[in-house]
Structure 1
């Protein structure tokens, strides 16, 4: 381990400087690339952008500069979505970013038809690097406008980790996110639920009987988001762990009822 690099990373505020130095050394092809990566990291660029990849739910996914980095807290969303994903299911990952969430949901399940969509061209290009080799399709556009019309009424699992940071709170985010990830991946509007409401309202038209909608957001937004899902005609349930909150909206075909669970 190069203690000089560790010291530079630590001085820049990297809490896990030793781990980051190791990952940089493992990823770089030569000493010049090590130095270039250290310079970028010390300047505040997210580690995943520097490395060009991120670990998520046991997968290594490509991450490009300017693209939202998948958060480990989203693994709750993945775990819940996998409970509803059967062989041959149609799965849609909206606001997909790198495409990591959809990939993790369908991993190891036979015959799944995976679609991912994002409004940001950089995210779409990155998602295609991850999703298309696994047999999925990636679409560019605003939420459901990006999806092929033939998916209407056929989707078994619709998941999204949409932007849910209230506009005024973006200035309070860590610089790594605020300065290096696209605002379109962060800004959820006045109360952070603008896209959540849009997704919930349109979801019933795209879900098959027995299909489910899964939305990640903050714990403080759970009640309002569950109300939006209920108002759309889906039975809402809250799920929480130490880091994340997910609202699951079930169609009548699932036999679910309105439920608030921890």
Structure 2
């Protein structure tokens, strides 16, 4: 809906008072999403109470794509574009065939969507243990042929994928339990705890992913995971002990680091 200059100023002031750093941009987006003054007031009220802007708008831009999100699902972070870029590189390097990809802990399916948009995949599968995430993942991945499975990590995957996965992407939770209280309220209060809480050192889920990866990866297949800079050396060791050739990329300015683990070639390969 159209807002007068005075109405815009009032909305910006309301959002700024609530701690919204980009109040001008948020005011514009909320006004565009609202169909009436009453709806705008309700959306603004929910934003002031801390609901993620993306949940209110129903979409988030990620890797140049519009990803559908809403209450109850993790909002993909812009830093995860680095993980996507690494996955695209790995998928394009798959030897002599269209690659098979799996997006573990998929949430809204944003990572799988970006990967499938950039690379011609033979198959894309995505899993999440949270039932609330599955409708969003199916909505986002259905148009690119992705198949979404509900369940705990590899337990959710079709058995026929064992030993056939070229790219295994894991945007798993990696916030240490003790640091959850430091997260912004919109994440801490409005996103699923299971998408954030990675246990004592933040790597509990990653250890389980690493343990199962060799059985699911194709020879030469790669596991890619996003973690914090200080966690990366620990995860490299975890992947190496699981039998993968593990490395960590140079961390980004914010500390986000992509760790990779490659399964060796088959005997005689």
What is the TM-score normalised by the length of structure 1?
0.94
Q: Alignment partner of 2:134: what SS?
A: helix
Q: Who is 2:77 aligned against?
A: 71
- Aligned positions of 1:124-135 closer than 5 A: 124-135=134-145
- Residue 252 (structure 2) pairs with residue 241 (structure 1): yes
Displaced runs of 4 or more, over 4 A: none
User: Partners in 1 of 2:190 and 2:118 — Cα distance?
Assistant: 33
Relative to structure 1, is the Cα distance of residues 58 and 224 closer, same or farther in structure 2, using a 3 angstrom cutoff? same
Task: Look up the SS of the partner of 2:73 in the other structure.
Answer: coil
Instruction: Check conservation: 2:101, 2:121, Cα contact below 8 A.
Output: no
2:21 matches 1:3: no
Distance 1:165-1:14 versus aligned 2 partners, 3 A rule? same
Contact 1:85/1:106 (8 A) holds in 2: no
Task: Report the TM-score when normalising by structure 2.
Answer: 0.91
Partner of 1:132, secondary structure, is helix
Take 1:117 and 1:75, find their aligned partners in 2: how far apart are those partners? 19
Which of residues 15, 32, 37 in structure 1 aligns to 2:38?
32
How many positions carry a matched residue from both structures? 254
State the distance in 2 between where 1:119 and 1:165 align.
Answer: 18
CA–CA separation in structure 1 for the residues paired with 2:66 and 2:33: 12
Q: Output aligned runs, 1:27-176, within 5 Å.
A: 27-86=33-92, 88-176=98-186
Once the 2 structures are TM-superposed, how far is the Cα of residue 43 of structure 1 from its aligned partner? Answer: 0.8
Q: 1:165 to 1:111 in 2, by over 3 A?
A: closer
Root mean square deviation, CA, Å: 1.4
Gaps of 5+ in 1: 255-262
Unpaired runs of 5+ residues, structure 2, are none
